[in-house]
Amino acid sequence: SKSKSKSKSKSKSKSKSKNIDIKINILNTKIDKLERQLSEQRHLKNVADHTLTIDSIKHALDQLKPTETNSVSQELIQSIQSEPHINRVFNVPPKKTKKGRFSDDKQYEITNLASGADGTVYKINYKGHISAIKVIDNSPLSSSSSNQWLALMNEIYILSSFNKLNHFLKFYSYIIKDDLLFIIMECYDGEEFFGKDQKMSMKDKKLTFKNMFHGIYQMHKLDMVHTDLHMGNVLFKSTSDFKIIDFGRAICYGDNFTHKYCKKQNYLNVYPYSKGFSGGFYQIAPWRSKQCGTSGCSKKELMAGDLWALCYYFANNRHILDRFAHDSNADNFLNDIPLIYRAMTDKELPQEMINLYN
């Protein structure tokens, strides 16, 4: 009878604990909703006052549509939210891996993949689900210029715009905890494409070029340009399985947006470096360092620059591109894109692409 009594007591205790967990989750959901509504109102006040704060970042993130909503992703967010020592959890040296448990006893495995001026990217294995998390310290942002705010919001906006495209990383969700902004996205374990082509057959090289060209075209169709495309910014698994990454210098265009993340269609981008094609950085189109013959490069000339980086890398006989070496604008290159595409793929450039680039 004593053992039965103990068993009933344990069962009641487990049931009570489960009910408490359910109530906590419901309350956390309500709090999250209220916080998002509060951020929206603060953002609207920012707009009225012509200022920018972290609430505008939060509001921008709230407008993004995640491509994946599942229980594991939500549990990860809750584990981060409830962790009292989140800085310790993500205190992982570069290229190192750390295993541990969140305060809710959920296990994690975190690897520090890369660090940059605007944050650190980690790979996290949580309950068998692998994601990438970009962690940004938002405390300095409160005192930084509006240009820095807009640069961050621009990158977030561009990332979210690619959610339906195959060759770009997917945005999942975000969370702000203490002074840290966590952007949760797809983790892709491909390798840099640079040098991979050397072991490819000619057939696979042509197919890879064709697929990458089409991936870039899909980006351009959204009125977005990369501006820093090179083969170190392409993660590769196979001829059809690759991801274009690193949009810190990307530009989006649009005249009818209510937000300020994108440039106007007639915006001219000034190339900030003295060295380009002639300085040995051959992925930089010749016309970029010549400011496209005017006071900067247009959207179409930057699109041509993205295509140049791909074409120059893949060209076996680079003399087909040498004739553009001294061009101060992209006109000749864009006119010859159908010929270059045919030489690279043995295929005809689809008419919809000709229409975009001419």
DSSP string, 118-155: TEEEEEEEETTEEEEEEEEE-TGGGGS-HHHHHHHHHH
What pLDDT, on the 0 to 100 scale, is given for residue 47? 57
CA separation for the pair 313, 197 (Å, rounded): 10
Q: How does 229-250 read in b/e, with b if 16+ C-beta sit within 10 Å?
A: bbbebbbbeebeebbbbbbeeb
What pLDDT, on the 0 to 100 scale, is given for residue 297? 95
What pLDDT, on the 0 to 100 scale, is given for residue 71? 73
Q: With bands split at pLDDT 50, 70 and 90, how would you rate the model's confidence at 68? A: low
Helices (H) and strands (E) in the chain, counts: 10, 11
Mean pLDDT computed over every residue of the chain: 84
| CA angle (272 as vertex; 266, 275 as ends), nearest 5 | 125
Cα distances (angstroms) measured from residue 307 to each of 138, 158, 227: 35, 19, 10
| SS3 category, 250 | coil
What pLDDT, on the 0 to 100 scale, is given for residue 64? 61
Residue 120 has pLDDT above 80, yes or no: yes
Tokens of 340: 């270059």
What mean pLDDT do residues 313-329 have?
A: 84
What mean pLDDT do residues 94-110 have?
A: 94
pLDDT digits 0-9 by tens, 15-49:
777 788 778 878 877 877 787 777 677 766 765 66
What pLDDT, on the 0 to 100 scale, is given for residue 174? 78
Name 59's Cβ contacts closer than 8 Å, sequence gap at least 6.
36, 39, 40, 42, 43
CA separation for the pair 170, 189 (Å, rounded): 13
Higher pLDDT, residue 280 or 159: 159
What mean pLDDT do residues 246-275 have?
A: 85
The burial of 279, by beta-carbon neighbours within 10 Å (0-12 exposed, 13-18 middle, 19 or more buried), is given as: exposed
Phi, psi of 14 (to 5 degrees): -65, -40
pLDDT digits 0-9 by tens, 284-294:
999 998 999 99
Residue percentage of the chain with pLDDT more than 70: 82
What mean pLDDT do residues 168-189 have?
A: 84
CB of 296 within 8 A of CB of 270? yes
Name 168's Cβ contacts closer than 8 Å, sequence gap at least 6.
159, 162, 215, 219, 243, 244, 245
What pLDDT, on the 0 to 100 scale, is given for residue 330? 95
Residue 117 has pLDDT above 70, yes or no: no
What pLDDT, on the 0 to 100 scale, is given for residue 311? 94
Phi, psi of 140 (to 5 degrees): -70, -20
Strands (E), 28-170: 97-101, 107-116, 119-126, 129-137
pLDDT digits 0-9 by tens, 202-256:
999 999 999 999 999 999 999 999 999 999 899 999 999 999 988 888 999 988 8
What pLDDT, on the 0 to 100 scale, is given for residue 162? 87
Residue 141 has pLDDT above 70, yes or no: no
Residue 295 has pLDDT above 80, yes or no: yes
What pLDDT, on the 0 to 100 scale, is given for residue 4? 59
CA separation for the pair 236, 194 (Å, rounded): 9
Name 259's Cβ contacts closer than 8 Å, sequence gap at least 6.
60, 153, 157
CB of 320 within 8 A of CB of 340? yes
What mean pLDDT do residues 56-64 have?
A: 65
Written as one letter, the residue type at 237 is K
Residue 79 has pLDDT above 60, yes or no: yes
CB of 139 within 8 A of CB of 179? yes
